[in-house]
Structure 1
Amino acid sequence: MNLTNESLGNRLMIEFDRMLKVLNHQTDPNDNIPGAALDEAKLSDDRTKHIAGLMRINHTGEVCAQALYNGQAMMARDEQTRQHLLQAAKEEHDHLNWCQNRLDELGEQVSISNPLWYLHSFAIGSLAAFFGDAVSYGFVIETERQVESHLQDHITDIGDDDARSISILKQMQLDEIRHGENAKQAGGVELPEPVKLVMTGMSKIMKFVSYRI
C-alpha cells in the first residue's frame, strides 16, 4: 500500500490493535525457545526473584522495542523502510515470547508499567521517523547498542546459576547486534550525544521500575 494514500486514522487503528496484542501477549510454549531443553536451575528464593527481575526488565525492553519499531514504521516515508522496521518488530516479538515464557517458569509476572513504556517508546519512534529514515535508523542503532550492553550486564550477573535464562539472553544479544548492524547498513546516522544521554537516562528509569513491579 502507498503510504501517502493511507489515512493517519487508519494507521492509528492498526497500531492500537498491535499495541493490544503486545500488551496482552499470551506465551507460546511451542516456540523455539533457546535453552528450553536444559534442566531447570535449582535456585534460592532470593536468587529466583533477582533473576526474574532481570528477565522482567528484558521483557519490558522488548515491549519498548515493539513500540519503537511500530511507531517508526507508521511514520516511515518509504515503503521499503516500513517493511524493514516491521520485520525487525516481528523478530523482536520472539524475544518478547522468550522472556515472558521464562518469567512464567520462574513464577513471576510481567511489569505492570508496560503500557506506559509502550506509549512512551511509540511516541519516540514516531517522532524519530518524522525527521527522516536516517534519523529513525539512528535510533535503532543506539537502542540496540544500549540493549546489547545491558544484556551483557545481565549475562555476567546471572553467570552459571541459570543456564536457561543465559541461553535466552545470549541469543537475544546476537539478534540485537544484527539489528543494529542492519540499521547502520540501511543508512542510519549517529545521534547527537545529548540525545544518547537522554535515552540512557530513560533506560535507567525503565530498568529501575520494571525490575520491581
Structure 2
Amino acid sequence: MSLPHPDRLLLAFDRALRTVSAQAKSSRPNPAAHILTDNLSEQEQKHSAGLMRVNHVGEICAQALYDAQSSFSHTPVVARQLQHSCVEEEDHLAWTANRLKELNSRTSLLSPLWYAGAYACGVVAAKCGDAASLGFVVETERQVEAHLASHLQALPQNDAKSRAIVEQMRVDEVAHGAAAQSLGASEMPLPVRTGMKLMAKIMTTTAYYV
C-alpha cells in the first residue's frame, strides 16, 4: 500500500536530515573493515580525505536523486528499483563518512546545498517520464563509475581502506546503471550529458576543499 502524501513528505524530510548530518547507516559490512592499519603521510592523508569528501558528496547527491526520482516515478517497478539502489547508495554514504572520520577529516560544509540541488534535478528528471528518468540514472552512473575509476588511480597506493570502499562503490554503480538500462532507459541528449559533466566538475572541485 502506498503511503499517504504527508507521510511520504515526512520520510523524505527524515532521509534528508540523516543524509546531510552524516547519520546514514549501512545495511552491508564496510568493505574496508578487515583492513586494520593505515600507513599514510600527513600529505597523503589530507589528499585521501579530499577525495573521500568528494565521494561522500556524490553519495549525498545520489540519495537526493534516487529519493526524488522514486517518489515521483510513474510505475511501481521503476520506483522499487530506484528505492533498492537508494539503499545501496546509503551504504556508500555511511562508508565514506566513516572513512573521513578515520582520516581525521570532515564532510562537506555545503551538504545541504548539494542535497537540495540534486533533489531538484531528480524531480525534474522524474517529471519527464520514467524512460527519461532512467536514462538520467544510466548517464549519472556512467559518469560516477568513470569518476570512481579515476579516484582509484589518484588515491595513495598504500591507502588500502579508501581503495576497498571506492572499488565496491564502483561495482555497485555499474550494477545500478545496468538495472536502469534494463527497465527501458532512454539515451540522454548530448547537451544534457554535457551539462551533467559540467555540474559534476563544479561539485567535485569544490567538495575537495569545502
Bin for the TM-score computed over the shorter chain: over 0.9
> 1:2 and 1:70 mapped to 2: Cα distance?
15
Match of 1:75 in 2: 72
- Figure out how many residues of one structure are paired with residues of the other and give that number: 210
> 2:142 and 2:76 mapped to 1: Cα distance?
25
The 3 A distance-change label for structure 1 pair 121 and 30 is closer
Contact 1:29 1:101 in 2 (8 A): no
Structure 1 residue 116, shift from structure 2 partner: 0.5
Q: Normalized against structure 2, the TM-score is what?
A: 0.94
Q: Give the RMSD, CA atoms, in angstroms.
A: 1.8
Structure 1 residue 83, shift from structure 2 partner: 1.5
Structure 1 residue 30, shift from structure 2 partner: 9.6
Structure 1 residue 2, shift from structure 2 partner: 4.8
Residue 33 of structure 1: which of 30, 37, 62 is its match?
Answer: 30
| Equivalence map 1:32-181=2 (5 Å) | 32-181=29-178
Which amino acid in the other structure matches residue 14 of structure 2?
A: D
Contact 1:69 1:88 in 2 (8 A): yes
Unpaired stretches in structure 1, ≥5 consecutive residues: none
Structure 1 residue 192, shift from structure 2 partner: 0.2
Contact 2:68 2:123 in 1 (8 A): yes
Which amino acid in the other structure matches residue 77 of structure 1?
A: H
- Percentage identity across aligned positions? 43
Contact 1:27 1:101 in 2 (8 A): no
> 1:83 and 1:29 mapped to 2: Cα distance?
19
Structure 1 residue 31, shift from structure 2 partner: 5.6
Deviation string 1:130-183 (CA, Å, 9 cap, x unpaired) is 011010001110110011011011101125221111011111100000000000
SS at match of 1:204: helix
The 3 A distance-change label for structure 1 pair 28 and 2 is closer
The reply to whether residue 194 of structure 1 matches residue 191 of structure 2 is yes
Contact 2:52 2:100 in 1 (8 A): yes
Which amino acid in the other structure matches residue 45 of structure 1?
A: E
> 1:61 and 1:71 mapped to 2: Cα distance?
15
> 1:93 and 1:142 mapped to 2: Cα distance?
20
> 1:43 and 1:80 mapped to 2: Cα distance?
45
The 3 A distance-change label for structure 1 pair 46 and 113 is same
